[in-house]
Structures are given as structure tokens and as C-alpha cells.
Structure 1
């Protein structure tokens, strides 16, 4: 018998916050890789809610430090509403992006749900990047490099106040894993905010096991664990299908250990899978790896473990 609630797949097909086109095809690439069938084979109840519909990507240059701000706000509003609706029905939403700007909407919804339920929130941010840029710090204006900052209250009102007048989360709720690319101005801001970061230097020195043990410390029965999985977390040798590859990421076994240790907690209540870009992929190989890792988040392991 599985210990997970019914799952809802929510496709959010947009690359409006990214610097490369193509992530809008991510949800359907995950479907081609049989994400629904794989999860059902684990005995899980899965409903595919289809794809949300929002503004097209106009592919314009940044204005006042932000590219496509109005469109990004609208897509995040739609994402927030869809994720919150599933949580309210006692379901586990998997937001299939789309680029990582969409985590602003999904995590705003999760944070609201946790406040209403009186639950603590822990966010695992699996990514090559800290995504803690602002309009003043960003070299590109691409909002997929800003969602953690926006969630913590640093950014345009349309995103920082998506779920109300206060920041959706506090930096103390976030654990970032796999980081290996941080813009110059962003480094100081990450340090000042006190974000807990397990970068690849840390993982190289102490191992994925210790990084995950520390990132998961303090979880209890009243903690909702949200996993925001940017596929560029993975080393590009196993996951080439992203627009922002950074060499030196977790290998396949390190990634599997990460996911298995998350599954062992039994606390995951929501998930983002983002930045999968089939335009850069090889025969959907990255989508297949992503689905394999998602299966591990839901308890796949080599042997039965106590």
C-alpha cells in the first residue's frame, strides 16, 4: 500500500521567464516519457489535468530589468490557482513546467496551504542556480533566475505579493542543493539572506548523503516538504535537454540517492519538475531520466527498505 495521496499532473507550457525557447514543450515531453504510467505502476492514483493556457511568449528584450513581466505574472497566477486547488482537495500536485519562474506560483500556493493548515514548510531547491537575482542584479532580465528572491519578498509587487501582501516564504524554509552557477552580484545577496546552500563543492567534499541529511534535518509529522526540481540540477552528461547546462552537476547515482532520501522521509506533499527543454535533448533522453528520478521520489528503490 502506498503512502502518497492521489497525484495531479499540471502542465504549464511556457518559456516566458527563460532565456531560451523550448521549455514550453517540457510537460508533453514528460508525458511522452510516460510519467503517468510510471506512477500508476507504483500503485498511485494519478489524474492528468492537462495543460494550463496563458499568454504567448512575445520574446521581447527586458524592460526595467525584467523580461516579459506581465506575462510571467499571469502564468504564475494561473499556476498558483491550479496548485492550490489540488492541495485543497487533498491531492499531491506535480507542476510540470515550463521554466523555473513558475515556482513562484506553485510555492506561493503551497505556502498559503501550509499557513491555513498550520503546517511547517520545507522547500528543497534542486538546481544548478540559486535563482536569487533581482532586477538590479540580473545580467539578463530573465525572471527564471529570480523565483527564490521573489518568494522571499525581493522583486516586483506582481510576484512578491502574488498570494497577499507579505512574502510567501522566509529564506529559512529553503535548502538549495547542487548549486554551481551564481551570478556575481547574486552571491553577496544569497549570503546576506542566509540561504542554506549545499553547492557542488560541499557535495564533492562531504558527499550527497551528508548534504541531504543536513537539508532534511528537523522534518517532522507536521512538515510539508516541497521539492522544486530544475532538470539542470543534473550533470549535462545525463541530462542535456535544458537551456542552461552547467558542467559538474550530480551524476545519476548521486541524483538517485538524493531522490531516495527525500522519499524516505515520507513528507513530500508537492513537486515541481521544470526547465526540461526538448529542443536541446537527444531522443527525449532527459525526460526519461527526469521521470526515472520522479519515480524514485515516490519510493522506487532497489530493495525493500525498513
Structure 2
């Protein structure tokens, strides 16, 4: 289904290896702008080495962008959102908003990492390792008053996970977070979080954490199948970290294919 808003959300402060994320976020924004009108979350400044606050590095910049993104989303009235990240934590605001619009929202989290640490369990203090816990009700304390109801764990599925800290696996076991059954029918309103580090780095090396094993063609086929079977109301691309403009152009070709699969109307998805 076509999207009615593209959200440029270039936050890099949640990542521990953030040097190339601004270049990647701008490239993804350019692609997303071809599919729906583009709105930009203003970038916030945050020292790469600043101290922990509430257990999170660069918290003031992260929280400022979170609130600005919420304001843009609410004022847009969008029902289908295509998001250009940035680090993985940009999806906290997006998923919270979409669940307010679609109360029975399902989330498919395509990522090499579980992203289920909390400020208390994270060994790094980097917020891009915490968005899954945040949307499931374990957000940092100052963020909780600005979030709606947590997503129910039964409406969450992982794809492609390979790596996690002890805290990630502990929450996964506690909430019984499941991986997507390849044979399962996918229905209802669905949001896909797509961290590009889920892809096999032999095919897509333009990431800071090259831990994935998912083949590009398989990933595109999965997105296309979800768009065919379900009501795809959200698609977020994160963690594109090209080292130079040549890498940005090469990676953008893959990202464009992913967005085309997500945005195609049903008659073009079959």
C-alpha cells in the first residue's frame, strides 16, 4: 500500500558506532521522499562522548528528537508511515504513534540484534540496543509519560536475530518473544522495522555492526509477502552506515528495492 508520510529521522546518538550514520540517513531520506511527502525531524546535537544520563549516552539529544518526531507524526495525521533512520531507536516514536492509529498493530522486527536491553541491563548505554524493550513497556523513565500503551508481546515477531547481550535474552525469555514462523500467515495492520545489519555483509557491507545472515533477495521477498498478505502501515529503514558516497550509492540501490516492495499496491505485489 502507498504511504502517506515519509519521516526523515536522522538520529545517530543512539548508536555506539555512529560516524557514518548521518550520510546513510540522508541517502535513505532521499529514497523515501520518492514514495510519500517528506517531513524532517530536526537533527539534534550530542557529543559522541557525553556522559550517561538515565543510563543512556547522549540522552538529551535522543529525547529532543523523540518529542519532535512525535509532534510531526501527530500533526500529520498519517495512517501509513515510511521512516528513514538513523539508528534503531527512531522506531520507538513511530511504533507508538502507529499503535495509537491502529490499536491492533503487529510489529515485525528484522534485525541481527535483539535490541531488548534496558538502561539497567545494557552494557554499553547505547539506546539503539533498547527500542524493543521500550515499545514493550520498559522505556527509560523520562520517556514513559509520553508513550501510549505498550505493545503486547504476542503481537511482536523477530526475523534474523543473531546477537544479544544477557539482558536481551533475559527479556526475550521473560516475555516469550517469538521469531516469525516462515509459514505463518501475516494479517492485520503491520509495521516492519528493518535494520540493514540483518543482511549478510557479503552482500550488504554498508553497516556498522555486520552480524547478519539474511540474503537480500530473501529479505525483499519477505517484505513483498507481508505487503501482499497484511495491511502494511509502517516501514522503517535503519542503521545505513556507508563510509563514502560510492558506498551510499551502492547501498541505496538495495534500499530502494526494499521500499518498492513495501510500497507497491497489491496489484503490483503479486
Query: Could you tell me how far apart the structure 2 residues matched to 1:283 and 1:300 are?
Result: 30
Secondary structure (helix, strand or coil) at the match of 1:262 reads helix
Which position in structure 2 is the counterpart of 1:226?
191
Which position in structure 2 is the counterpart of 1:151?
135
Whether contact under 8 Å (2:198, 2:214) holds in the other structure is yes
Q: Higher relative CO (CA 8 A, sep ≥ 6), structure 1 or 2?
A: 2
Aligned residues: 267
Cα distance change on mapping 1:162 and 1:289 into 2, 3 Å: same
The answer for unaligned runs of 5 or more in structure 1 is 40-45, 199-210
Whether contact under 8 Å (1:84, 1:110) holds in the other structure is no
Q: For residues 190-248 of structure 1, what are the alpha-carbon distances to aligned partners after superposition, in whole Å with 9 as ceiling and x for unaligned?
A: 111111124xxxxxxxxxxxx3432x44x2xxx3211111111211122212211104x
1:163 pairs with 2:133:
no
Cα distance change on mapping 1:304 and 1:296 into 2, 3 Å: closer
1:235 pairs with 2:200:
yes
Q: TM-score, normalised on structure 2?
A: 0.89
Which position in structure 1 is the counterpart of 2:210?
245
The answer for unaligned runs of 5 or more in structure 2 is none
1:57 pairs with 2:52:
no
Which position in structure 2 is the counterpart of 1:203?
none
Secondary structure (helix, strand or coil) at the match of 1:279 reads coil
Query: Could you tell me how far apart the structure 2 residues matched to 1:81 and 1:265 are?
Result: 31
Which position in structure 2 is the counterpart of 1:95?
83
Cα distance change on mapping 1:304 and 1:136 into 2, 3 Å: closer
Which position in structure 2 is the counterpart of 1:42?
none
Secondary structure (helix, strand or coil) at the match of 2:105 reads strand
Which one of the candidate residues 4, 7, 11 is aligned to 1:7? Answer: 4
Query: Could you tell me how far apart the structure 2 residues matched to 1:254 and 1:16 are?
Result: 30
Cα distance change on mapping 1:163 and 1:264 into 2, 3 Å: same
Cα distance change on mapping 1:52 and 1:20 into 2, 3 Å: same
Q: 1:305, CA displacement in angstroms?
A: 6.8
1:254 pairs with 2:218:
yes
Whether contact under 8 Å (2:224, 2:269) holds in the other structure is no
Whether contact under 8 Å (2:5, 2:78) holds in the other structure is no
Q: For residues 77-129 of structure 1, what are the alpha-carbon distances to aligned partners after superposition, in whole Å with 9 as ceiling and x for unaligned?
A: 2222323333x244x221111111111111111112224xxxx1101111111
Q: 1:142, CA displacement in angstroms?
A: 0.2
Which position in structure 2 is the counterpart of 1:213?
183
Cα distance change on mapping 1:305 and 1:14 into 2, 3 Å: closer
Whether contact under 8 Å (1:132, 1:148) holds in the other structure is yes
- For the pair shown, which has the larger CA radius of gyration, 1 or 2? 1
